[in-house]
Structure 1
């Protein structure tokens, strides 16, 4: 079974997502069959979307072009970007192939872990849209206050530019600790780029890494073997 990845949001995360799938398939008979389309996102559009939550509608034609490119060559599609899952139903309508949802797969993992109060680290657009909460009916989602949320989106933009610093990583840890103090039982990395700089190794509270969750689901859907 061939997997199609709608990638480029950002490119480094797409590469990490690909390698996560490859590593999870080590016990299979062969390397996984994957096609990646790195969507050519204009830098200014990326900045407007991540930092300010604007111009998201301009991503939809890019996503649909990617679907058209991949669907005739692939058996299942994935989009390793939380924010752009505001268009998941548009993508599904445009394709006859199954499209896995990072939101749906993450909600299953949160339920599996029996987390009832989860902190959310995500772009401002993801946080404000409520797309994740819509899948977590029995979970209370805690978000950073407005100023911290704005800074979080700024940090995500720096990550996309490859300009992450130790100071920014410490800021992320500080936001996580604040959410934990407010009662969070786990932290959802609701932006796939965040896993590039922070993970379970950095904090004691359980981390729900949406990128790894989607990678695991993709391997299972392809009939591969985790390991």
Structure 2
């Protein structure tokens, strides 16, 4: 099995989800008598809240190099928003970063989706690190919430979900957003916050939900086991 480096901490709830599911899904293949070798570096979530892009880039490059030197053969960032560092970090290290946009695009392609709604925090929804990946690599269009709903989504992610609060109010808000995006032409919904699949777990919606966490973890497991 290959050794995978995990960059977590944003939030630690999401990191636990990644670590647990990677181990569980690998054991389904190899048996419970063994487990993959994983290297984890948990970053303080305050770094992302400062919104200092230069500082964020620098920290993720530093951590990526440490994981590479420690023996990681690839890196997975255990959240959506920190993929904003991908274009800066990837050319400066010698091992691949498994991009969450690639995992999402492949799944949407299999289902023949061309227009996707994206939910998450404001940097994820308005940034191009997921939408441009889908546009350039898979010829897919991305739509996001309109008006005050953009700020409301950001509030729920940054003030509740990443701090471990999963309220009925937040569930209702996101289900309404999915309904609205369906009217605007979305064929599927990207849950672009690692905690959103936790919030909406077991809930049926009006559109297929692309759970980026699950798709990303599947990509990680395939990498670990590809030999």
TM-score (norm 2): 0.89
Of 79-88 and 151-160, the range deviating more from structure 2: 79-88
Q: CA deviation at 1:71?
A: 0.7
Can you list the C-alpha shifts for 1:131-179, whole angstroms capped at 9, x where unaligned?
A: 2221223222121102101100100011111222111111111111111
Q: Distance in 2 between matches of 1:59 and 1:160?
A: 18
Which residue is equivalent to 1:69?
Answer: 66
Tell me the secondary structure at the aligned position of residue 27 of structure 1.
Answer: helix
Q: Distance in 2 between matches of 1:172 and 1:56?
A: 28
> What are the equivalent positions in structure 2 for 1:1-227 lying under 5 Å apart?
1-25=2-26, 26-29=28-31, 30-42=34-46, 45-48=47-50, 54-72=51-69, 73-137=71-135, 138-157=139-158, 158-199=160-201, 201-223=203-225
Q: Distance in 1 between matches of 2:102 and 2:29?
A: 26
Contact 1:7 / 1:38 at 8 angstroms: preserved in 2? yes
Tell me the secondary structure at the aligned position of residue 163 of structure 1.
Answer: coil
Tell me the secondary structure at the aligned position of residue 203 of structure 2.
Answer: helix
TM-score (norm 1): 0.89
Can you list the C-alpha shifts for 1:37-93, whole angstroms capped at 9, x where unaligned?
A: 101232xx4445xxxxx4233212221221122112211111122222121122212
Can you list the C-alpha shifts for 1:92-111, whole angstroms capped at 9, x where unaligned?
A: 12321121111122111111
Q: Distance in 2 between matches of 1:128 and 1:95?
A: 27
Q: Distance in 1 between matches of 2:49 and 2:94?
A: 32
Structure 2: gaps spanning 5 or more residues: none
Aligned-residue CA RMSD in angstroms? 1.8
Q: CA deviation at 1:195?
A: 1.5
Q: CA deviation at 1:200?
A: 5.8
Contact 1:77 / 1:97 at 8 angstroms: preserved in 2? yes
Of 199-208 and 66-75, the range deviating more from structure 2: 199-208
